[in-house]
Amino acid sequence: MMCLKRSKTYWGDDTLIILKSDPEIEKMRRAGVLVAKAFEAIREMIRPGITTEDLDRLAERVITESGGIPAFKGYRGFPASICASVNEQVVHGIPDQRLLKSGDILSVDIGTIVEDFYGDAAVTFAIGEISDEAKRLLSVTEASLRAAIEKACLGNRLSDISHTVQSYVEQQGFSVVRDYVGHGIGRSMHESPQIPNFGKPGRGPRLEAGMVLAIEPMVNAGDYQVETLDDNWTVVTADRSLSAHFEHSIAITKEGPEILTCL
């Protein structure tokens, strides 16, 4: 979060990517653990009949009681602690009193702040029994994230991550959102570089130890085009097809990529 709106330029030779020290990554690791704890609490609570407002209150309580700050609340005026995007909603859905029902899918995006450093991740949940298409959409989106993380290694280029997501998703017959992208993360929610989920391999800066990236495939069952609703936040698929979103914050290390947003 909040998924960065794509600009015309993803990167260039003058892209400033802030490398984090080991102590700074440790702070981001603690922020990431709080994100993971909030997701575990949501996973236990989520079911048909729950509202997204219920989930928002739960996540905020878990984060604050653990000594963190909900990163999204008040960010550019966003009114809640989580983003909760249902079915055709891609990202930035505002929690409300809508009752979740069996067959829905819900993308939840959570951010935290610990000692001025951010953690950020997203998961799409199945509510009750969902359709076979929805199951496959969730499986493909999560698998594309895992494949992208495997490319987050020293010496690879940034677009190798982007190309991996696009290739995997499109081979499965789905499409990647192009208007919103992943991003660097650290003392700010959004840092350079932008990380689109599409593009040719072998481009952009080489990955170096100390980079921390929020990699976040957003995948549509239909066309990749999206639009924003009148609340100026909620992004939906233009054709109203289902959409899924998975994300982790990743540290690039000499030993390989480290997922910071997990227990």
Instruction: Name all domains of the chain by residue range, CATH numbers in brackets.
Output: 19-259 (3.90.230.10)
Gap between the Cα atoms of 190 and 2, Å rounded: 8
Asked if residue 229 lies in contact with residue 191, where contact means CB atoms within 8 angstroms, the answer is no
In this structure, of 12-16, 133-137, 186-190, the range with the lowest mean pLDDT score is 12-16
Mean pLDDT of all residues in 98-122: 98
Tens of pLDDT, residue by residue over 150-164, are 999 999 999 999 999
Mean pLDDT of all residues in 162-190: 97
Tens of pLDDT, residue by residue over 185-217, are 999 999 999 999 999 999 999 999 999 999 999
pLDDT of residue 10: 53
| Residue 37 clears pLDDT 90, i.e. is over it | yes
| Residue 8 clears pLDDT 60, i.e. is over it | no
Count CB atoms within 10 A of the CB of residue 19.
13
